[in-house]
Structure 1
Amino acid sequence: MIKREIPKNIEAEEAVLGSILINQETIYGVSELLDIEDFYRKSHRTIFKVMLDLNTTKKAIDIITLTDYLTHISKLEEVGDIAFITSLANKVPSTANLKHYINIVKEKSMLRNIVHIAEYMENMGYDSESIDTPETVLDKAEQLLSKLTKKLVTTKVNNIKEQTLN
């Protein structure tokens, strides 16, 4: 069996985070379209969560406030260091392509979720000791796929709304 790499785009994730650092107002649009779990890297999820926390408490979102908060909660070393945070802002010259970065991150997240659902079904199918019946496994898979489909529809509706407003 060929082991394939899980869908992700680290550069797009970094571009989203960097865009927020260079223009904190973008947090509003990003937070409507992306969830913390949409980021593949744990460090990116942590940084995005801190950005959301800073925004919720009406604090500035920039390199200084972000690194200060990460230091305060003892997470700066976990996500990298101040040089890494600074590099996020330096990787993105402007927020002009932010929508594209968001779409890439969202698409990769959806694909990862599909892979996880397929792995769940595969594992349950091979688990002959499972107390689950085939119907139970299929019901659970349907629930997971339905939840993912709703998320996809919501994303498409948000994209349509965004396009009609521009």
Structure 2
Amino acid sequence: MQGFIDRSQETSGPYPLDKMVGSRRGFRPEIDFSKEGRIPPCAVDVEQEVLGCILLQGDAIERVIQVLGEDADMVFYDIRHRTIFKAMLRLYMRREAVDLVTLSDELKRNEELERVGGNYHIAELSNKVATAANVEYYAIIIKEKYLYRRLISVATQVSKLSYDQSVDVFDLVEQASQEVFKISQAGIKKKASDIIGL
């Protein structure tokens, strides 16, 4: 019986077989929504409610993290709100209080305060809510909008690559399935300590 012959470097025309068969181009489901011509699913006002609840009651951040999951810092659509929440997460991970004073100081230390609208915008957020009782409900709303955006991103990339036919179709199906599975897993509620590694 003839032994195995490695033909991975043989060519058919100008390209090696290993570059023609099973060609993989990085699957990047993230898209720039600013170039899409329409506003993607988002709830900027509800994002403000979430941040306001945390400023009102610092430990509410743990309930928010449990709902938002591993991508907690990416769920916020408004870049200002995303920056503010990341600062809140840093305070929480250092086991420091999360309030107007500490948040403002953290943002200032990282040269982010002016980018998010200054102390005025931070104070404005704290006046958005009278109670933090509904923070989980608000967090669920912005999480749902985020998952819609991720699905749009995946679908857009799959559509583009399908038209291009530049990726092996079976690879594309596999990668698309993996991305959708990740999105389904992102909807699972977890403990805050499991998510941020405390």
TM-score normalised according to structure 2 size: 0.73
Q: Residue by residue, what CA displacement relative to the aligned partner does 1:97-154 show, whole Å, maximum 9, x if unpaired?
A: 21220110111011111100101111111224x2x111111111101001111222x1
CA distance in 2, matches of 1:5, 1:134: 30
The answer to whether residue 50 in structure 2 is matched with residue 16 in structure 1 is yes
Residue of structure 2 equivalent to 1:139: 174
CA distance in 1, matches of 2:116, 2:163: 37
* Paired residue total: 153
Residue of structure 1 equivalent to 2:87: 50
Q: Which amino acid aligns with 1:44?
A: H
CA distance in 2, matches of 1:5, 1:75: 25
Pick the aligned partner of 2:122 from 70, 85, 89.
85
Residue of structure 1 equivalent to 2:9: none
Q: Which amino acid aligns with 2:175?
A: K
- Is contact 2:67–2:136 with CA below 8 Å preserved after alignment? no
TM-score normalised according to structure 1 size: 0.86
Structure 1: 5+ residue stretches without partners = 159-166
CA distance in 1, matches of 2:42, 2:120: 23
Residue of structure 1 equivalent to 2:28: none
Q: Residue by residue, what CA displacement relative to the aligned partner does 1:59-91 show, whole Å, maximum 9, x if unpaired?
A: 111111111110111011111110000011101
CA distance in 2, matches of 1:40, 1:3: 16
**% identity of equivalent residues:** 34
Give 1 or 2: higher helix fraction. 1
Specify which structure has the bigger relative contact order, considering alpha-carbon pairs within 8 angstroms and separated by 6 or more residues: 2
Q: Which amino acid aligns with 2:76?
A: F
Structure 2: 5+ residue stretches without partners = 1-35, 192-198
1:4 Cα deviation from its structure 2 partner? 3.8
CA distance in 1, matches of 2:76, 2:176: 23
- Over the residues paired in the alignment, what is the CA RMSD in angstroms? 1.7
CA distance in 1, matches of 2:67, 2:136: 10
Q: Which amino acid aligns with 2:41?
A: P
Residue of structure 1 equivalent to 2:18: none
1:96 Cα deviation from its structure 2 partner? 2.1
CA distance in 2, matches of 1:28, 1:7: 25
